[in-house]
Structure 1
Amino acid sequence: MTKRSQQAATSAQQQGGECLRFVASTQSPADQISAVKSLFNARTITGSEYAQLKAKAFA
């Protein structure tokens, strides 16, 4: 059971990294925020990650 949990965590981490690279590659801040909001709504990222990425889009 623990091995499955570790595999699931690793998989989620990899997917999150791919999503973050996608968000970072978009051009406008509005596009970045929209993509980040979608990730947050899909529960792919946490609230703190959402806040960090949103702040980066405004920077």
Structure 2
Amino acid sequence: ICGVEHLQRAGNKLSVFDSFYFCIVTFSTVGFGDVLPNVWPSKLLVVIMIFVALMVLPIQ
């Protein structure tokens, strides 16, 4: 996520910590909304990440 946002964004770039924080908040289903993907490749990556999490987490 950090790489896609870094390549596509001109202004505010996400740090590795922000990307890690976003993934943890998304996987825990808290969803604070303070860090958001703004470009379509990042949004697509997040949708794929959520689908994978929905398939993997219930198995465990």
TM-score (norm. length: structure 2): 0.40
Between structures 1 and 2, the one with greater helix share:
1
Q: Which has the higher contact order (CA 8 A, sep 6+)?
A: 2
TM-score, normalization by structure 1: 0.40
Give the greater-gyration-radius structure (CA): 1
